[in-house]
Structure 1
Amino acid sequence: MPLVIVGISVLILLLLMTRLKLNGFVALLLVAVGVALVQGIPLAEISDVLAEGVGGQIGDTMLVVGLGAMVGRVMGDSGAAQRIAGHFVDTFGVRWVQLAMVVTAMLIGVTMFYEVAFVIIVPVAFTIVRVTRQNLLWVGLPMSIALSTMHSFLPPHPGPTAVAATFDASVGLTLFYGLFFAVPIGAAIALVWPRLPFIRRMDPEIPKGLVTEREFGDDEMPGMGWSLSVALVPVVLIAGAAVYDMAVSDDNGALPFVTFVGAAPIALLLTLLLAVWAFGPRVGRSLEQVSDSCVSAAKAMAMILLVIGAGGAFKNVLVEGGISDYIQESTEGWGVSPIILAWLVAVILRIALGSATVAVVTAAGVVEPLLAGSGVHPELMVLAVSCGSIAFSHVNDPGFWMFKEYFNLTVVQALKARTTYTTVLAVLGLGGVLVMDRVLDVLNV
């Protein structure tokens, strides 16, 4: 019966969000209240259960999501992101333009959300297409695939960061482990997919009037050294702290400081402070202009944070209502790896709900009990859920429509291009997590 309740609640979420077009935050809260009532949680306690779930989720996630969005927006509004993209295109040349787009997208996509990075880089892709007369998807698809990989697989993006909080996993280790397979898998798919026959038969034109974002002149953009350095600061700090933690003993004198600086919120705060100066007063932009960029980023992230919080409320209702305990008891005798089961739950929720953020947060709440006593590293469970959340992007995914409109595709063409690559990324990502799990076992980490 508890599993039936979970299944019905997911179906209701699907109905509310796709058929009735209800906002994800409201839909999740309504379903959470419904599940609480069905599970017999006392009426007087339901509000507290919801608040506890929202508070626990937002408290661990808001700093990383908010600061990451601000860093990305400051870089975009100053021209730093465009400087990185243009430099790599010039370096690699027209023949290797796909590789240039992949490298650019992965560097920018580490700290930026898919939509933000997409809008910043896509004008460069359009310019290349006009100059070289190459197919739009030949240039643009590698960029989109690389951005999708970084956004869906790795923190500090919202989904993986929220799941890391749920599993009490290290954000730094999650990023460190994930980079080992996210980069090669994302790059391989990005370079292979445009060469597939069913993709090459598509020849869309650049949409007219769609791109309105400012294109900076060379003398308006910050230097390459500053632009690239700021983009890489959070990666170096977060991943570096994780490596240092593994390399030294617990009584190492510098470990507390390194751990502090490498914590995701602190690393992003330091990056933001550097970005505010480097792309503000240092290049002639006022602090007021930089502040406006930060405010705009915060406004854009408000709904994402609300959805994450509502997902935390739904998760807490499942836990308090005993559904999570039931799932744990029911799956104890299964011969299925917790990693595979976590991935599968995320895939199912992704197909049903469309939103990768909702899928990962909800899936994490469902499979959280499987982690206890399983011996699986919590960071790998985070990566398994995150990889599953990218699968089967289709018409209930906002990113699907953005992809379709910018590349001027029909719905069928977008399904063939985006739905297929997101699904293959999810499957290969699961393989990467399983391999990493085996490697850590052999190394006895």
Structure 2
Amino acid sequence: MPLVIVGIGIIALLILIMGFKLNTFVSLIIVSFGVALLLGIPVGDIVKTIETGLGGTLGHLALIFGLGAMLGKLIADAGGAQRIAMTLVNKFGEKNIQWAVVVASFIIGVALFFEVGLVLLIPIVFAISRELKVSILHLGIPMTAALSVTHGFLPPHPGPTVIAGELGANIGEVLLYGFIIAIPTVILAGPVFAKIAKKIVPESFTKTGSIASLGEQKTFKLEETPSFGISVFTALLPVILMSIATIISLLQKTMGVADNQLLAAIRFIGDAGTSMLISLLVAVYTMGLARKIPIKDVMESCSTAISHIGMMLLIIGGGGAFKQVLIDGGVGDYVAAMFKGTTLSPILLAWIIAAILRISLGSATVAALTTTGLVMPMLGQTDVNLALVVLATGAGSLIASHVNDAGFWMFKEYFGLSMKETFATWTLLETLISVFGLGFILLLNLFV
């Protein structure tokens, strides 16, 4: 049975990564070869299948991912992220400090990948916590909720971007619907959950945590940083460009307007790759040249950003290879046949499969890519909204982060928590994001 072979592959992946401490990319390639053989893919076609999966996934993602990493790095190195955070903290005031952290983390989370945003914001959260004498977890839960939601639901983050590419979904629609789902999810999983967590594990809110492992952080005098307006505009420019193009395309369809050169130009500018390139060029000016930073230093920041994402790109490529093996080996068709005639929504099915794989594998991106390979064949049988399937897969891939996920250990160490406290805060937080996300996706499905 194909599903038994997939199960053996997943167990083998767990043993290689957790037992033998093998690199995730290497483990994925080994398992891809093994599963391909077991599924009966002809020996002469196995390497071609793996190359197709790896190349197809990275071909769509590398441009957006690479440009996005550079954009985030420029905003961070110029002090734009610090300006956004501190301005909002000052504007919201002490009483509404949690909301200031949520809004700042959400804006920064759109531009920066989860790990980068976390490393950048944690020192700021610790500083605010000391100054206002509030618990670091009181601010840390809303911060990580916002970062995690943007990471799971919004392009140009790797998960939603790569799933959209694989399923052929409109990335602008994914972004637009992602925002609609992300905002209420952040509110419930952030400030609202922080109150509940305080009752579940009150002792965790007395911990002081430690960020010594982050080393010396680059700090700026506020007057040395770009203005708040410029910083927010630069961070959100790709979102603005993609959203405008998507809204205009949706209006064109609704109103039945004939296609013309102006609409084609808007679509071109709103394409994920084009909008990321335009945003990066704007950031080179606003975060660099306009502040009299030599172009050599600006390019140095871009080079550093790319060197940091090299392994992550390979891991995503490895996930793409595994996904292709499942498709070419007929596993996707087998799953499609199993659920033929079922009343179960493809949205719910994508979420369930992604959730099971996430709990098993730890990696949200690998779980999402493997899910794509399993659900893709059945999507032709339905008229389901592909953007919502992308978001459901992303939501499922966030659930129940535990000991096989790097995020679990980062959260535990930075906030100085015990294992029990980390499960009651971080693991529960990620599960709430996943479940609330699914709930809002199913609600949105009634209207779009």
Please indicate, yes or no, whether the TM-score normalized by the shorter chain is above 0.5: yes
Which residue is equivalent to 1:288?
A: 296
Code of the aligned partner of 1:5? I
Distance 2:302 2:347 in 1: 37
1:304 to 312, 315, 333: 312
* Separation in 2, partners of 1:224, 1:131: 22
Work out the number of aligned pairs and report it: 440
1:53 counterpart residue number: 53
Q: How far apart in 2 are the matches of 1:263 and 1:337? A: 29
Contact 1:17 1:353 (C-alpha < 8 Å) held by counterparts: no
Q: Deviations over 1:241-260 (max 9, x none)?
A: 10010112341431111111
- The equivalent residue for 1:429 is 437
CA offsets per residue over residues 102-158 of structure 1, 9 Å max, x none? 000111111211111111112211111111111110122111111111111221100
- Unpaired runs of 5+ residues, structure 1, are 441-445
What is the match of residue 336 of structure 2? 328
**SS of residue paired to 2:374:** helix
Letter of the aligned partner of 1:393 in structure 2? S
Whether contact under 8 Å (2:211, 2:414) holds in the other structure is no
Offset of residue 187 of structure 1 = 1.8
Match of 1:408, SS state, is coil
State how far apart, in whole Å, the 2-side matches of 1:34 and 1:252 are: 50
TM norm structure 1: 0.96
Taking the aligned partners of 2:8 and 2:343, their CA distance within structure 1 comes to 25
| Separation in structure 2 between the aligned mates of residue 200 and residue 275 of structure 1, nearest angstrom | 43
Q: Is the 8 A contact 2:350 2:371 kept in 1?
A: yes
Report the Cα offset of residue 9 of structure 1: 1.2
CA distance in structure 1 between the partners assigned to 2:113 and 2:328 by the alignment? 33
Match of 2:128 in 1: 128
Q: Which amino acid aligns with 2:415?
A: F
Give the deviation of 1:21 after TM superposition: 1.9
The one-letter code of the counterpart of 2:313 is L
Change (3 A) 1:96 1:33: same
* 1:19, distance to aligned residue in structure 2 (A): 2.0
8 Å Cα contact 1:123-1:215 kept in structure 2: no
CA distance in 1, matches of 2:233, 2:202: 36
Deviation at 1:225, TM superposition (A): 1.8
State how far apart, in whole Å, the 1-side matches of 2:174 and 2:128 are.
35
The answer on whether the counterparts of 1:393 and 1:419 sit within 8 Å (CA) in structure 2 is yes
Could you tell me which residue of structure 1 aligns to residue 218 of structure 2? 214
Determine the structure 2 residue equivalent to 1:224.
Answer: 228
Matched with 2:268 is: 260
In the alignment, structure 1 residue 205 sits paired with structure 2 residue 213: no
Partner of 1:443: none
- 1:78 matched residue in structure 2: 78
For structure 2, list consecutive stretches of 5 or more residues without a partner in the other structure.
none
Confirm or deny: 8 A CA contact 2:185 2:433 kept in the other structure. Answer: yes
Partner of 1:234: 238
C-alpha deviation, 1:208, in angstroms: 5.8
Residue 33 of structure 1 pairs with residue 33 of structure 2: yes
In the TM superposition, structure 1's runs of 4+ consecutive aligned residues that sit over 6 Å from their partners are none
Task: Report if aligned partners of 2:40, 2:329 keep a CA contact under 8 Å in 1.
Answer: yes
How far is the alpha carbon of 1:323 from its aligned partner? 1.5
Contact 1:114–1:148 (CA<8 Å) still a contact in 2?
yes
Aligned partner of 1:374 among 358, 382, 396: 382
- The aligned runs of 1:14-163 (5 Å cut-off) are 14-163=14-163
Shift of 1:425: 1.0
**TM-score, normalising length: structure 2:** 0.96
Q: Distance in 1 between matches of 2:17 and 2:377?
A: 27
Shift of the 390–19 alpha-carbon distance from structure 1 to 2, 3 Å rule, reads: same
Q: What corresponds to 2:191 in structure 1?
A: 191
- Aligned residues: percent identity? 42
Give the match's secondary structure for 1:95. helix
The root-mean-square deviation of aligned C-alpha atoms, in Å, is: 1.2
1:178 and 2:181 equivalent? no
